[in-house]
Structure 1
């Protein structure tokens, strides 16, 4: 049988596919652009069209599938948007669904991930919830613009700490669970990096690696929200979600450090400094 990987072209899904291929698994990469997926993975995977808003794509996507990596596309804000596909997995007798969730979501009913976890459990589909801390790629991605252009980290996290983890490590965790489903049936793993950093420390590390003085500005929520909507031109609903997440971060929800990544994979998580060194060009202005 085969493993279906949703969001295969994304940061995490990309690593899930690559790790599963190393393990000798037959992988079906799902998305809306199958040609792109075939090219991404050098035709080493099958590619299938899957649109969570189009039920007609479900049957072919789940053909000969017995395990699924499920992630919620960012543009689908309501948990109910994924329920029809979860129903289809139940009807297909999936023996493990590995859902990409959030750290602390078991005690936080606000994010859509909470209801998605509960729906999977209610249907009694064998599950392995992966609950990572904040992605390191948040810094090298969405927040790298201010670092490159203004030598600033512009994030409303106050003095709170975050146990960042790399997408590469998240992908490996998911692949391990899917490769050995009998060992991970009805489990949940909170995976983090090996240390919790505040954004002053993040700025120091990026400064050290780039040789520039990077400053953490510590904006308030309203100033951050206005800047990202008015200046950066980002979608208001997306920015509101990030505000909510950073509010929770200030409450201490992102500082937890666990050893569950090591227990799951037998490896140590990548450090933030190693990540910055590998992705230093993301923080440097183009000449």
Structure 2
């Protein structure tokens, strides 16, 4: 039987596909753009058109599939948006779903991930939740524009610390869960990078790697929200979710460092400095 990977063209999904293939698994890559999936993975995977908002795409995506990597698309802010597909997984007798959740979400009801976890458990699908810290790719992705063009990190995290983790490490850990179904049935795993850093320290690391003076702007929530919606043109729902996450970060929810990644993989997680070196093109003009 095969593994269905939702969000296969995204940061984490692509790494999940790669690691599952390395383990000898057959993979179905799901997304709204099958041509893009073909270009990314070639003949190694089966691409399938899939849309969380279109129930007509569910059965085809779940055909000959017994495990699922479930990722909430950023533009679907309400947990209820994923419930119909979760119900479909139940009807197809999926033997394990690994949901990409958030560190600390078991004690935090604000992000949609909390209700999604609870709904999966409620309907009775065997699960292996993966709860990572903040992605290093947030810095090389959505927040890289300000770093490149203004030499500043524009994130409303105050003086809080974050145990950043590389999406590649998340992908490997998730693949382990999906590959060893019985071992990890009905479990949850908090995985982080090797250290907790505040954004002043992040700025120092980026300054060292780029050879430029990078500073941490430390904006307030309202200034951050207004900038990303009005200046950057990002979806309001997506920005609101990030505001909620940074609010919780200020409460100390992102600073925990765990050995969950090592327990699953036998490897040490990547450091932010090594990640920045390997992705320096994201931070230079």
| Superposition TM-score, scaled by structure 1 size | 0.98
> Partners in 2 of 1:232 and 1:88 — Cα distance?
36
Unpaired segments of 5 or more residues in structure 2? none
What's the RMSD between the two structures over aligned residues? 0.9
> Partners in 2 of 1:17 and 1:235 — Cα distance?
27
Question: Do the aligned residues in 1 keep the contact of 2:19 with 2:172 (CA within 8 Å)?
Answer: yes
Shift of 1:226: 2.1
Between 52-61 and 188-197, report the one with greater CA deviation.
52-61
Shift of 1:60: 1.0
> Partners in 2 of 1:177 and 1:192 — Cα distance?
16
Listed as ranges, the matches of 1:119-138 within 5 Å are 119-138=119-138
> Partners in 2 of 1:13 and 1:130 — Cα distance?
13
> Partners in 1 of 2:120 and 2:246 — Cα distance?
27
SS at match of 2:68: strand
SS at match of 2:263: helix
Unpaired segments of 5 or more residues in structure 1? none
Paired position in structure 2 for 1:223? 223
Paired position in structure 1 for 2:273? 273
Paired position in structure 1 for 2:80? 80
Listed as ranges, the matches of 1:253-264 within 5 Å are 253-264=253-264
| Superposition TM-score, scaled by structure 2 size | 0.98
> Partners in 2 of 1:89 and 1:162 — Cα distance?
34
> Partners in 2 of 1:50 and 1:217 — Cα distance?
39
- Are 2:45 and 1:45 equivalent residues in the alignment? yes
How many residue pairs get aligned? The number is 285
> Partners in 1 of 2:73 and 2:165 — Cα distance?
20
Q: Deviations over 1:111-158 (max 9, x none)?
A: 111111111111111100000000001111111111101111111111
SS at match of 2:139: helix
Paired position in structure 1 for 2:247? 247
Q: After TM superposition, which residue ranges in structure 1, 4 or more long, deviate above 4 angstroms? A: none
Listed as ranges, the matches of 1:79-118 within 5 Å are 79-118=79-118
Between 230-239 and 76-85, report the one with greater CA deviation.
230-239
> Partners in 1 of 2:252 and 2:278 — Cα distance?
28
